[in-house]
Each structure stands twice: as C-alpha cells, then as structure tokens.
Amino acid sequence: MAATKVLAIVLAGGEGKRLMPLTADRAKPAVPFGGIYRMVDFVLSNLVNGHYLKIVVLTQYKSHSLDRHITKTWRMSTLLGNYVAPVPAQQRLGPHWFAGSADAIYQSLNLITDDCPDIVIVFGADHIYRMDPGQMVRQHVATGAGVTVAGIRQPRSMSDQFGVIEVAEGSNRITAFREKPADPPGLPDSPDEIFASMGNYVFSTDVLIDAVTKDAADPDSKHDMGGNIIPMLVERGEAAVYDFRDNDVPGTTDRDRGYWRDVGTLDSFYDAHMDLISVHPVFNLYNHEWPIYTDHPPWPPAKFVHGYQGRVGRAVNSMVAPGVVVSGSLVENSVLSPGVTVHSYAHVDGTVLMGGVQVGRHAVVRNAIVDKNVVIPEGAQIGVDLDRDRERFTVSDGGIVVIGKGQKVDP
Ligand code: ADQ
C-alpha cells in the first residue's frame, strides 16, 4: 500500500485580542514565549518531530514578524519537496481578508489541490505542548472518520473558552460539539471537568474540501472551524475524538506527559511561564528526544557580575537566556530573554522580561510581563502598587502588570 500523503496547515491568523498589549504589534503566534521561543515554534516543532515536513502556515493579522521568524527559522531544504511556508491572505477569491479560520482554508484550497494529500492536519498555533501528531493520524486512518478532533479534559469553569465535545459511551464518535458554551454538563465520571477541543484536527482531504466549500456558501456562517465546520461534521456523524491522554511523546516524564496550555489570556500566558521555571518543571524544555526548535541569534552566554559597590548579581529559580547581564541585582522566579540587562540593587521577581529590556538601578519589578526593549528607569516600582499600575499599564484579572512594546515607563 502506498504511504499516506499528509499536508499540515497551521492556522496562525488569529488576532489574539485577549493578549493585548502583547499583540498590539504582532500576530498571537509570533508572541515571544519562554525566553527564546515564539508561540508558533511549539506546533511547528511537534509537526517536524513527527516527520510531517510539508507545512503551510496561514497568516493574516499583523503577520510581518511571524513571516520573518518562520522564513528565517524554519527554512528547510526543498530537495525532498519539504517546506514550511508562511502563506498570507491573498484575496484569491475576491477583495476580502479571511473571514474566519474556515474561510482561511477555503481561500487557500489551491494549496491542498496542488499537493493532493490523502490527509490534511489542521493545527492551531497558540498552544504550549508536546504532541506526536502521528499517533492521532494513525487513529484517524484506523477509524475511517472524516475528521478527528484532539480532546483534553479541562475545568468546567473554562468551558466558555473551548469547543466542548460529547462522546458516545464506549466509542470515540463525537455526538455533540458546542463552541464555547456557558454552562455545559460535566463529564459523567468527573462533573467538574469537560472534554475540550484542543483546536487540532485531522481531516480526510475530500471531507475538508467539501465542508469548507459548503460553509463558504452559507451566508449565516461565521466560517469558523470550531463554530461551524466541526459541528457540521458531527451532525453528519463523521467526527471522532482523539484523547490527548493517549499521546506518548518520547522523552516525556510522568510530570510533563499530557501537558497542554492554551495561552490565550495574559494570566494563562504568565502561568505557562511559571510552569517552566518550577524546580521540577511541569513542562520540560530539556527533552532532547522531542526538541522545541527556534531561532538562535549569535548572543554570548548569560553573565552574572558584581555590580555597583561589589554587590553580587544573582538569578535563582529562573531561566536566563543568552545575552543577559545581571549586574549586582537579584532575579527570582523569572524568565529573561536575550539582551536583557538588570542593573545594581534592582529586584526582579515573578516576571517575564522579553528581549532587550533594561532594568535600572534600585528598580523593583514584580509579577509582570515586560515586552521587548522597554526601559524600566532607575528606582521605578512595577507590580508594587497595582492601583497606580492600572492607571498607566494593563493589569490582568490575576494582577499581572503588562507593559507593552514601546511603552514609556516613568520613574
Ligand atoms: P479559539 O482559539 O478561540 O478556539 P480562533 O480564534 O478561531 O479560535 O483560533 C484558532 C486558531 O486559528 C488560532 O491558531 C488562530 O491563530 C487561527 N485563526 C483564527 N482566525 C484565523 C484567520 N482568519 N486566518 C487564519 N488563522 C486564523 C479554538 C477552537 C475551540 C478550541 C480552542 C482551543 O475554535 O473549539 O477549544 O481553539 O484553544
């Protein structure tokens, strides 16, 4: 039997409104994560580690830094016909942008028909996780479903952020799929949990083409994968679920097996960083059997030096990227990206500092996310008086202070 031909489509056009101000200037999948990565690196690493090497990334919203990152980092030899290609909205079917994720695929059908795959993987680009997509593809082929949706248990209180899946007892056939319902029933064996869609799908090619084409002709549709396409295929009895609990990635430990985070809000984005720095991390970036790839600019190693009046520069319970200088200051429970400098007597705690951030002498930065190249002046206090911070920055529901790119910080 001939090998199954697979094309992967990564949906990366989302606006990411709930991550503002981090998405003021870039698409959500391009938001820096974990010191040296961008969000899109996680899905692309999963696909590439799974040996899926024909990948198109559909971009649209503020896509410049995303395009640049993908082109620079994910360029592959085309010798064997492999590629990771960012594809912007091209208005091939008329003068309008992608109306939704299903419309993005409909407008890009030429990519599928050019390649003639048997199966199309459609994955989102805004999750932090490790997954071997091959295991899901094999289940899809074995069950003969039209679409297979990856599912994971999540707290019922978060149901309004997810597509909620109901499954026929004793089988993996999806009987109901509701996009972001307010108050769905809990699982029979766990009333406080729901079975959530991870926004990752495996389609038989003809089923995908038929579904997005029919959807495009429906004037009442929002042209959304989770809102329209999956419910349509559930109604036709063609949808199955793949339980993420079954995914077994080489090198994962009991602690981080099954880890998956939707980092769609500022608080979940922050919490995912804290997952990285715990002493025994619940998401382990040291797994060399399933590496997460990214761009590595030529920064020198991180440096910790005595600063003003011989004060020791230290970082504990933190991840510190190349190019960082910690001089006579204390960094705790934090993630520091390339090119960050922390000056004498400063104290950085529970904070994510993105590339090039400068923290001045005697400054305090606590429970914060600080976007690229922001300068925190000498003596400034961030995350100390939240009422004052609310007047000048974004403060998340969970009390995390977020300073956007280019924002000026007064002392
Ligand atoms: P959401 O993440 O809220 O829910 P959406 O905003 O459509 O859905 O984003 C899904 C993916 O598609 C993201 O990677 C996004 O970047 C991309 N995308 C969105 N609009 C796009 C467009 N116009 N062009 C190209 N790409 C686009 C989805 C599912 C839920 C599921 C959650 C899991 O709809 O059912 O539970 O993901 O996080």
Residue by residue, pLDDT tens for the chain (411 residues) are 467 899 999 999 878 889 999 999 889 999 999 999 999 999 999 999 999 999 999 988 777 888 889 988 888 767 677 888 888 776 566 556 667 899 999 999 999 999 899 999 999 999 999 999 999 999 999 999 999 999 999 999 999 999 999 998 889 999 999 999 999 999 999 999 999 999 999 999 999 999 999 999 999 999 999 999 999 999 999 999 999 999 999 999 888 889 999 998 999 999 999 999 988 888 999 999 999 999 999 999 999 999 878 789 999 999 999 999 999 999 999 999 999 999 999 999 999 999 999 999 999 999 999 999 999 999 999 999 999 999 999 999 999 999 999 899 998
Question: Would the CB of 146 count as within 6 Å of ligand 1?
Answer: no
Residue 43 in tokens? 């899905």
Tokens standing for 321? Answer: 């990227």
Q: Within this chain, do residues 270 and 310 fall inside the same structural domain, yes or no?
A: no
What are the tokens at 7? 């094309």
How many angstroms separate the CA atoms of 105 and 212, rounded?
Answer: 7
| Residue 180 near ligand 1, beta carbon < 6 Å | no
Q: CATH number for the domain including 85?
A: 3.90.550.10
Confirm whether 219 is domain-assigned.
yes
Atom of ligand 1 at shortest distance to CA of 12? 16
Same structural domain, 87 and 229: yes
Q: Collapse the DSSP code of 97 into the 3-class scheme (helix H, G, I; strand E, B; otherwise coil) and give the result.
A: coil
Name 227's Cβ contacts closer than 8 Å, sequence gap at least 6: 100, 179
Q: 327 and 262, same structural domain?
A: no
For residue 333, what is the domain's CATH number?
2.160.10.10
- CA 410 to the chain's CA centroid: 32
- On whether both 270 and 335 belong to a single domain, the answer is no
* Residue 411 falls inside a structural domain: no
Residue 396 placed within a domain: yes
292 part of a folded domain: no
Do 376 and 238 sit in the same domain of this protein? no
295, part of any domain: no
In a domain, 284, yes or no: no
Does 29 reside within a domain? Answer: yes
| Domain range enclosing 323 | 303-403
- Do residues 73 and 118 share a domain? yes
**Are residues 270 and 308 both part of a single domain?**
no
Considering the domain architecture, whether residues 137 and 262 belong to the same structural domain is answered as: yes
Residues 267 and 349 occupy one common structural domain = no
Best residue for ligand 1 mutational test, from 57, 91, 101, 165 (most atoms within 8 Å of Cβ): 101
Tell me how far CA of residue 283 lies from CA of 26, 181, 252, 290, 410, in angstroms.
25, 29, 9, 12, 36
Structural domain count, the chain = 2
In a domain, 378, yes or no: yes
ipTM of the complex: 0.96
CA distances for 231 relative to 26, 130, 144, 174, 345, angstroms = 31, 26, 18, 10, 56
What's the gap in Å between 199 CA and the centre of ligand 1?
7
Q: How far apart are CA 159 and CA 182, in angstroms?
A: 6
Number of H helices, E strands in the chain: 9, 27
Please indicate, yes or no, whether residues 40 and 174 belong to a single structural domain of this protein. Answer: yes
